[in-house]
Amino acid sequence: MNGGLTQEVLNIIFSKYMVYLSPMIFVLMVALFSERIIDLIYQAIDKKRRWR
């Protein structure tokens, strides 16, 4: 019985509130991984300069 209740709660959250949650999750991911992304871009540019 608890499994059915949990499933219904998850259905409500993901069907109605996912429109609001997904942009917030995306912004949070960008904030958390922006330093790593910038470092990867810098390393890629630096490698291109070494090959010349």
Q: For the chain, which residues make up each domain, given as ranges?
A: 19-52
The H-assigned helical ranges of the chain are 2-16, 18-51
Kindly indicate the confidence band of residue 1, based on its pLDDT and cuts at 50, 70 and 90.
Answer: low
Per-position b or e across 20-47, b if 16+ CB within 10 A of its CB: eeeeeeeeeeeeeeeeeeeeeeeeeeee
How confident is the model at residue 46, as a pLDDT?
Answer: 84
pTM score over 0.75: no
Tens-place pLDDT, residues 6-49? 898 888 878 888 888 888 889 998 888 898 889 999 988 887 67
